[in-house]
A and B are shown apart, each in its own frame.
Chain A
């Protein structure tokens, strides 16, 4: 066959170029050509989500994406969720709250959950919303509840840190005092309802 496709894309913030057959699965490109074995194959048919990666910010089954369609995209895998050696808030929540048992679904689930939390922009998603976001990630070990708990705990922790940061940022200086009052007032005004019109809600006609 031909020498293959020169695939230029970004993986976990790093620009990469690999030479692969155009129909090679993104999953295999990541695992073999990029040496990133964190993403797993559970079924090869887009059913289990173990192969989930973010492609330009949204979760996709990498076992269903051909290399030719990954040109110029930004991929995030489980290896790219943390900055540096420390675990991210989400990863740590999984370790501490029973969100991971055998670990084979974990990379895909973390990636999907990460996307959910990015999308939620500091809001804490409700139980039903998390479950719906994760419906494409099968887990056989946990029963899902601890996973959902871990995701929501991570969201709460992130929200709390953000609020602390906002409060701290407003402190220094007298003029800033006025600002800080306003800043403090803001969270109350924009208190987020858990029943939202976020696109991932289950609005169905006739229901």
Chain B
């Protein structure tokens, strides 16, 4: 441990309102660093990197815990751990991609402490839950002394490790819309009361080994065919291939409205390569990431719909 831990201060708020007050008040004198599960923070401290000297312990804030239904949304408290996420019956049923991602974050010990809010706030381009949240079009509920602000995931990352949150905002919860809820393209309004079919969900992380690893490429996808046999929902979110986790807009565009075939898959692949900008880094290289990103996209497509593999 290369940081002088005994010199660090920790504020222990009574409740969320108190935490927000403390956070707001700290802005002028050195922003309190929010401390959730500590699984990223302590790695930094161990290497002697200090994000600050004063911390705000979120651990006791019950308001940030719990998973609850809200209409057809599922709302997860920011302090929900990845163990809780992967084991939660509703998450497993409705958002299997998120459960899958949770199961691949670190290993059991990390999952027991790592939180959803922490993973988001850490804003690593390799964050495993981020592509899933992006693909599911999750909404972050940011709280401050000014109240709640809902930030759609697509608007959350401004740049490398740069969140579109005010310095005195805390992620309080993340809500997940029903994955089948978006209006189908071109198929007319759904019959009243009838639920549109759920989109197929896909998640794959290519890490440095089979467990306890950081991703080299991580992809989450949603795909749904309309009654006319054309793609009416296509979401591809991918991490570790750009400064931020991103939606592959060009790839999605190549898929929407198309009839599944190998030709379309190839076109989506070619489009994807324009969406991403991977680099050489300590874990992998640009060439590998480009190739594998394309391969994962094709894997996703043929799993979601076998006709993508046929000419």
Q: Give the interface of A toward B (CB within 8 A).
A: 1-2, 4-5, 21-25, 28, 44-47, 49, 52, 55, 58-61, 63-66, 68-69, 112, 132-133, 135-138, 199-200, 202-207
Contacts and interface: CB of A to CB of B under 8 A. Distances in A.
Overall SS of chain A's interface: loop
Given A199-B87, A206-B304, A136 B203 contact: no
B303 A206 contact: yes
A47 B214 CA distance: 11
Interface of B: 1, 5-10, 12, 35, 37-39, 42-43, 45-47, 55, 57, 59, 83, 86-87, 92, 96-97, 99-100, 103-104, 106-110, 112-113, 200-204, 210-212, 221, 299-300, 303-304
Given A21-B6, A45-B46, A46-B43, A205 B110 contact: no
A58 B111 CA distance: 10
A206 B42 CA distance: 33
A204 B55 CA distance: 36
A166 B285 CA distance: 59
A203 B96 contact: yes
A45 B212 CA distance: 12
A206 B204 contact: yes
A135 B207 CA distance: 14
11 contacts: A1-B6, A58-B83, A64-B43, A69-B38, A136-B107, A136-B109, A137-B107, A199-B87, A204-B103, A206-B97, A206-B201
B242 to A, nearest CB: 22
Contacts of B109: 46, 49, 52, 59-61, 112, 136
Contacts of B55: 23
B200 to A, nearest CB: 7
A46 B92 contact: no
Contact of A136 (B97, B108, B304): B108
Contacts of A205: 96-97, 99-100, 201-203
B6 A65 contact: no
A141 B104 CA distance: 25
A135 B212 contact: yes
Contact of B39 (A4, A21, A46, A59): A46
A179 B35 CA distance: 54
B219 to A, nearest CB: 10
A133 B112 CA distance: 12
Contacts of B201: 205-206
Nearest to B210: A135
A68 B59 contact: yes
B38 A65 contact: yes
Nearest to A57: B112
A49 to B, nearest CB: 6
A157 B71 CA distance: 48
Which 4 pairs, one residue from A and one from B, show the smallest C-beta to C-beta distance?
A136-B107, A135-B211, A206-B202, A205-B96
A25 B42 contact: yes
Which residue, A22, A23, A58, has most C-beta atoms of chain B within 10 A? A23
B110 A46 contact: yes
Contacts of A45: 42-43, 46-47
Contacts of A204: 96, 100, 103-104, 203-204
Contacts of A61: 39, 109-110, 113
A60 to B, nearest CB: 5
A52 B109 CA distance: 8
A61 B108 CA distance: 10
Contacts of A133: 108
A55 B52 CA distance: 27
A23 B12 CA distance: 12
A132 B39 contact: no
A22 B1 contact: no
Contact of A60 (B6, B46, B112, B202): B112
A23 B46 contact: no
A52 B304 CA distance: 39
A206 B8 contact: no
Contacts of B113: 60-61, 64-65
B35 A66 contact: yes
Nearest to A204: B100
Given A22-B9, A60-B113, A68-B59, 12 more contacts: A21-B5, A21-B8, A60-B112, A61-B39, A65-B42, A66-B42, A135-B108, A136-B211, A203-B92, A203-B103, A204-B204, A206-B204
